[in-house]
Structure 1
Amino acid sequence: MLALTGTIAIVALFGLIITKRLSPLVALIVVPTVAALAAGFGLSTAKFIVHGVQAIGPVAGMFVFAILFFGILTDAGMLDPIINGILRMVGAKPTRIVMGSALLALLIHLDGSGAVTFLVTIPAMLPLYTRLGLDKRILACVASLAAGVNFLPWVGPMLRASAALHIPTTVIFYPMIPLQAIGLVFVFGSAYWLGKREEKRLGLGKGAPQTVLQPRELSAEEAALRRPDRFWINVVLTVVVLATLVSGIVDPVVMFMLGTVVALIVNYPEVNAQRARIDAHAKAALMMASVLLAAGAFTGIMSGSGMLTAMAHVVVQHVPAEHARHMPFVLGLLSMPLSLLFDPDSFYFGILPVMAESAKLLGVPPIQMAQAALLGQMTTGFPVSPLTPATFLIVGLTGVELAEHQKFTIPFLFAATLLMVAAAVVIGVFPL
C-alpha cells in the first residue's frame, strides 16, 4: 500500500510540474503532504517535514550565499577585465573565437546560473560571429557545452542531488573532479575542431585580417557599481573561497557566508549600498532556496513515512542482484537524454531517491547514483531541454531555431556525457 501511495505521489509530482498546473514549490509541499495524510500518518506528517527541512538547511544556505557572493563580485566588475581580455585575444581567427566563446561561458558559469552565462556570453561574442559569417549554431553549441560540463558544488543539479539524497555536495563532487577535467578537455577540443572547420569553410586562414571587438559598454547604473581598483582583492578573495571550499577544510555554507561578508565590506562598505546589493540578488537566491526547502519537506515525508523504502523494495524485486552494480553506469548513459523528459525538480526529487534507495538495497552506494545522474541530467542536458528556460534563451539570443540548435548541439553534449561515463568506469568511480 505504501509503495502504491508513493508511486502515485511521484507521478502526480512531475505530472503537475511538467504540465505547469502547479509550481515546483507548491507541488513539492502539497503532493507528499496529501499522500502522507491519505496513508494515515496524520500529525506525524509535520514531524517528517521538519526533519526534512532541517536536513536540507545547510544546502539551501550554501546556495543563498553563493548567489550573493558571485553576484556582488560581478557587480563590482571582477569579470570585466577577463571578458575584455578574451575579446581582445580572439581577434578574427575562428578557432580563437570559438574557443574564446567556450572559455568565456565557462568563467561566467562560475556562479552556477545558466541564464546569466548565456546573457553575458552570447551578446559579447555574437557580433564577431555575425561580422565574419560564422555559424551561430556553433556559438550556441560551445556555450552550452562549457556550461553543461561545469557541475560545481553550488549549481542547481548538484544541490538537488545533495538535497534529495542527503549527501554533502562536496562529497559528491570530489570524485567527479577528474571526470569534469576530461569533459572540459572535450569541450575545448570540440571548440578547436569547430573553429578549424569554420576557417576552412570561410577561407579564413593565416592571412585573415585581425579585428578586435570593442568591450561592451556599461550602463550608467552598472558603471556606478564597478570597483576596478579592487579587482585583485576580489580575485584573491574568490580563489581563497573556492580553494578552501574544494579542500573541504571548512563547510561550504560557512565559506560562502564569510566570503559574502568580506565581498560586501571590501566593495560596498556603506550600509545602504550593502542592502542594495543584497536586495538586487535576493530574488534569485530566494527562488531556489525556497524550492530546496520545499524539497526537504518532500524527501522528509517520503523517507519518514517509509514510502521511499517501500517503492525501492518493489524495484529491487525486478532487478537481478548480479546486475545491480551496473546501475550507475546505465543511469549515466541515460542521464543526458533524460533531460528531455524530466525537469530537474521532478527527476532529482522524484525519480533519483527511488533509484538510489533501490541501488542501496542491492549494495550500490547511493552516491554513485547521484554522480551518474549529474553526468548528464540537467547538466549537459539543460541547454537543449525544452523543459528549461535557458534553452529558449540560447535560441532567442543567437537567432537559431530550436530544432536546429538541438540537432546541432545534442550530439556534442551526449558525447561529453558518454566520455565522462567511460572515464568514470576507467578511473573506478563506477563499477562495470
Structure 2
Amino acid sequence: MEPANPLLALLGFATIAIFLLLIISKRLSVNTALVLVPLAMGVLAGFSPKELGEMILAGIKQVAPTGILLMFAVLYFATMLDAGLFDPVIAAIIRYVQGDPLKVIVGTAILTMIVHLDGDGTATFMIVMSAFLPIYRQLRINRLILPGIVALSVGPLHLVPWSGTSARAISTLKTDAAQLIAPNIPAILAGIVWVLAVAYWFGLKERKRLGVNALTFVHHDNLTDTQRQLRRPKLVWLNAILTIGLILTLMKGWVPAPALFVTASALALLINYPKLTEQQQVLRAHGNNIFMVSSMIFAAGVFSGILTGSKMIDAMAGSLVSAIPAHHAAWIPTLTAITSMPASLLFTPDAYYFGVIPIVSQSAAQFGINPLEIGRAALLGQMTVGFPLSPLTASTFLLVGLAEVDLGDHQRFTLKWAFGTTIVMTIVALLTGSIHL
C-alpha cells in the first residue's frame, strides 16, 4: 500500500464521523447522508465531477447484485408471511413461551445462533426476523430488541471458518482454519455466553415491564381482515418445500443468489396469488419496505464507491498503522482486537482484510509478533461482531429494514453490547494465548 496521504485520511475519517453523527442525531435520512457526505468530501479532496461520477458508478455496480437480491428476498419472505407460512412456527413458539418476554428473547438468540451456523447473515436475518417479528409486535416487546439480539447473536458465530470474513483473513495471511480459527474457539464460546447473558438481561427487563401473559396467544385472532384474506393455509406445505429448497440452493451456491430470489419471488406470488389484483395488493402492501431496503443498498454503493475510488480508505489504513509507536509494538494484537469492532464502521471487509491487515501483520512481524495473531485479533470484531451495525454492509440494511427501525436507533441501542462482545472475546483470547500482550 502507498504511504498514507494525510489529507485523504483526514477527509476519510471526517466522512465516517459526519455520517454517523448525522444519522444518529437524525439530522438526515440514511439515504441522503450516504450520498451527500462522501460526495462533499470528494469535492473537498479536489476530484472532478466526472471522477466522482465514475467512482459512484463503480460503487453502484459493485452492490447491484446485492441490491437486487435484497429487493426480491424481502418480496419473497413478505409473500410467505402474508400466505401464513410461518404461522405454525409462530403458534408453536407462542405455546412454549406463554407470553413470557424472557423466553422469547433468549429463544431468539439461540435460534439465531443455530441458523447462523452456515455463516450467511442475509439468510439468517430473513429467517429469524420472519419468524419472530410478529411475536415481538404482539407482545409489545421493545422494537429495538429483536434486531439488536439478532445482530449480537450472529457476531461470535460469524467467526466460523466458512464465513466470508474468515475466508478473507485466511486468504490474506496465507494460512488455514486450523491455525487461524481454532485458537479463537474459547473466545467464540465466551462471546456466545456473553450474548446469551445480554439476552437474559433484556428478557428480565421486558418481563418486569410487560409481565407474563398466562393466556395462550392465538395468532389468527390478531390478524386484520386483509391479512386473513391473504392467508393460504392449504398451501403451507408447498410453501415450506419451496422455501427449504430456496435456502438449500442459497447455501450450496447452486444458483447465483440474485437470480434465485428473482425467480423464487415470482413463483411465490404466482402460486399463492394467481389473480393479478391479489399480486398487486401484496406488492403495494410491501412496496415501501422493499424500496427503503433496496434504495439504501444503492446509496451505500455510492458511499463505498467514493471512499474506495478516492483512496480515502487506503489513506486511513496507512495512517492507522503509522500511528503505532515502535516501543508499544507488543500491544499491536490487543489494540487490533479492541478496535476491530469499531473498525467495522470505517472499513469494508475487503478494505480491512486486504488493505489494513497485511500492513499491520507485516509491521507486527518486524517486532517478532506472529502475524497470525493479528488475523485472530481482527476476527474478534471487524465485520464479525460489527457487520450487523456497519453502514458498509448490505445485510445491515436488510436487518433494520425488516425490523422497520432506524439505522441510527439500531446502532445506538446495540453498539455498546456488541463492543462488549468483542471485549469479552479479547480477554478470553489473551487468557488462552490466541493473542498475546
Question: Common fold, TM-score beyond 0.5?
Answer: yes
The more displaced of 223-232 and 264-273 is 264-273
What's the CA shift for 1:228? 0.6
TM-aligned CA distance change 1:180 to 1:62, over 3 Å? farther
Q: Note the 1:18-417 alignment, pairs <5 A.
A: 18-42=24-48, 43-91=50-98, 98-103=102-107, 106=111, 111-112=125-126, 120-125=134-139, 146-151=149-154, 171-172=164-165, 212-215=216-219, 216-319=221-324, 323-326=331-334, 329-332=337-340, 348=345, 357-363=355-361, 368=378, 372-376=382-386, 388-389=408-409
**For each residue in 1:5-30, what CA deviation from the matched residue of structure 2 results, as whole angstroms up to 9, or x when unmatched?**
33333333333333333222222222
Query: 1:87 touches 1:212 (CA, 8 Å); kept in 2?
Result: yes
TM-aligned CA distance change 1:417 to 1:304, over 3 Å? closer
Q: Across the two proteins, how many residue pairs are aligned to each other?
A: 368
Query: 2:389 touches 2:411 (CA, 8 Å); kept in 1?
Result: no
Structure 1 residue runs without a partner (length 5+): 127-135, 153-157, 159-168, 202-209, 339-346, 393-405
- Matched residue SS, 1:362: helix
What's the CA shift for 1:220? 0.6
Q: Report the AA paired with residue 171 of structure 1.
A: G
Structure 2 residue runs without a partner (length 5+): 1-6, 116-122, 168-176, 209-213, 362-373, 391-395
What's the CA shift for 1:4? 3.0
TM-aligned CA distance change 1:246 to 1:379, over 3 Å? farther
TM-aligned CA distance change 1:221 to 1:197, over 3 Å? closer
**For each residue in 1:198-233, what CA deviation from the matched residue of structure 2 results, as whole angstroms up to 9, or x when unmatched?**
99x9xxxxxxxx853444432111100101111112
Identity of aligned residues (%): 25
**For each residue in 1:174-214, what CA deviation from the matched residue of structure 2 results, as whole angstroms up to 9, or x when unmatched?**
899x9989866776688789999999x9xxxxxxxx85344
Query: 2:307 touches 2:313 (CA, 8 Å); kept in 1?
Result: yes
The more displaced of 417-426 and 352-361 is 417-426
Corresponding residue for residue 15 of structure 1: 21
**For each residue in 1:282-336, what CA deviation from the matched residue of structure 2 results, as whole angstroms up to 9, or x when unmatched?**
211221222221221122122212222122221110135665444552235x55x
Quote the Cα distance in structure 1 between the aligned partners of 2:137 and 2:352.
40
**For each residue in 1:220-266, what CA deviation from the matched residue of structure 2 results, as whole angstroms up to 9, or x when unmatched?**
11100101111112222222222222233333323322321221122
Query: 1:115 touches 1:390 (CA, 8 Å); kept in 2?
Result: no
TM-score by length of 1: 0.65
TM-aligned CA distance change 1:53 to 1:249, over 3 Å? same
The alignment yields a C-alpha RMSD, in angstroms, of 5.0
1:3 aligns with 2:6: no
- Matched residue SS, 1:103: helix
TM-score by length of 2: 0.65
Quote the Cα distance in structure 2 between the aligned partners of 1:7 and 1:91.
48
Quote the Cα distance in structure 2 between the aligned partners of 1:33 and 1:90.
49
TM-aligned CA distance change 1:326 to 1:236, over 3 Å? farther
Quote the Cα distance in structure 1 between the aligned partners of 2:33 and 2:204.
48
Quote the Cα distance in structure 2 between the aligned partners of 1:46 and 1:37.
11
- Matched residue SS, 1:282: helix
Quote the Cα distance in structure 1 between the aligned partners of 2:27 and 2:203.
44
Quote the Cα distance in structure 1 between the aligned partners of 2:281 and 2:238.
21
Quote the Cα distance in structure 2 between the aligned partners of 1:258 and 1:3.
43
